[in-house]
Each structure stands twice: as structure tokens, then as C-alpha cells.
């Protein structure tokens, strides 16, 4: 008795199983049968692209990100800036990093230090390098014979 049954095994795909479907935005989407859950597996359809998925949103994202098909552009609204991005989060990062708009500043809380950073990781590096906070220290556990890192707080 095996672990597999017909409902959980994807069938082997042959060229005869392929169906061409039109896809708005360029390139036919080819159906490759079904995955283990019964979802239709499709390939991108752009010449030379090997991308396959059963997720419709994933295919849409792939075509926009990799091939520039049906891209929704997000443009910077600042005067004189012609920056545009394919994702809203990338535009937000541009505004924060280049324009200092909607920045969440991370401030050093050590007395007399006025350092601030746009990224938490940069503040952690500052604290480790300048104030020896969260500085990893290697220790040897003699009972188990293992080296480990202990963070000094």
C-alpha cells in the first residue's frame, strides 16, 4: 500500500495535454494540467520564459515584474521628480530615502548621542559599533563543549 492515490498525484503532462488560452497583456498562457490540489498549472507563454504557476495573481505579478506586461506604475508626485516604480512599497521607500517624506526615524537613546537612522538595522549597527550595545560575545560552555554567542545588553 502506497502513500499516493489518484487524487493527490499530478498526472504526467504530454504535449497533447497543452491548451492555449488567450491572455490579455501579451503571450498565450499554456495550461499544463493540474497540480496536486486540482489547480490548473500554466506557463508564462512568453518566448524563452520557463515560469510556471497555478496562482493567477502570481502569473500577473510575474508578467508585470519580469516582462513589463500590464504594469501599473506608481509615480513620485514631487516637483521635478520623474521616478516611477512597479510597486507601491518601492515608491514609498524612494520617498523616504530620497525625499525624506513619511520617514520613521530611529533615534539612538544613549545620553549625548543625536544619531538617527531611517532603518532600524542601521541604528543597531550604530549602537553595536559606537556604544557596544548588543555586541555579540563568543563564550565557551565547558560542560557541553559548545561555543555560543551571548549578546551583551
Q: Output the pTM of the full model.
A: 0.50
- Please answer whether residues 53 and 45 qualify as being in contact, where contact means their C-beta atoms are separated by less than 8 angstroms: no
Separation CA 116–CA 109 (nearest Å): 9
**In degrees, to the nearest 5, what angle opens at C-alpha 37 toward C-alphas 31 and 43?**
25
Rounded mean pLDDT, 17-36: 56
Residue range 142-149: mean pLDDT, rounded: 79
**pLDDT above 60 (res 10):** no
- The answer on pLDDT for 117 being more than 90 is yes
Do the Cβ atoms of 63 and 69 come closer than 8 Å?
yes
- In this predicted model, what pLDDT tens digit does every residue of 42-57 receive, in sequence order? 888 888 898 988 888 8
> Coil, helix or strand for 20?
strand
pLDDT tens for 65-74 read 888 888 889 9
What are the domain boundaries of the chain? 15-67, 106-152
**What is the rounded distance in angstroms from the CA atom of residue 52 to the CA atom of residue 88?**
25
CA nearest to 34, candidates 15, 56, 52, 11: 11
What does the pLDDT read at residue 5? Answer: 38
Amino acid at each position: 500500500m502506497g502513500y499516493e492515490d489518484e487524487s493527490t498525484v499530478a498526472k504526467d503532462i504530454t504535449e497533447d495535454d497543452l491548451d492555449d488560452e488567450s491572455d490579455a497583456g501579451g503571450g498565450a498562457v499554456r495550461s499544463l494540467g493540474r497540480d496536486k490540489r486540482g489547480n490548473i498549472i500554466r506557463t508564462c507563454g512568453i518566448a524563452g520564459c520557463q515560469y510556471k504557476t497555478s496562482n493567477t495573481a502570481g502569473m500577473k505579478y510575474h508578467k508585470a515584474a519580469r516582462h513589463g506586461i500590464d504594469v501599473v506604475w506608481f509615480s513620485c508626485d514631487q516637483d521635478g521628480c520623474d521616478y516611477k516604480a512597479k510597486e507601491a512599497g518601492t515608491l514609498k521607500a524612494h520617498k523616504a530615502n530620497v525625499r525624506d517624506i513619511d520617514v520613521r526615524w530611529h533615534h539612538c537613546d544613549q545620553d549625548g548621542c543625536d544619531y538617527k537612522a531611517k532603518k532600524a538595522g542601521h541604528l543597531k549597527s550604530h549602537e553595536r559599533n559606537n556604544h557596544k550595545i548588543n555586541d555579540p560575545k563568543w563564550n565557551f560552555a565547558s560542560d557541553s563543549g559548545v561555543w555560543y554567542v551571548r549578546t551583551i545588553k
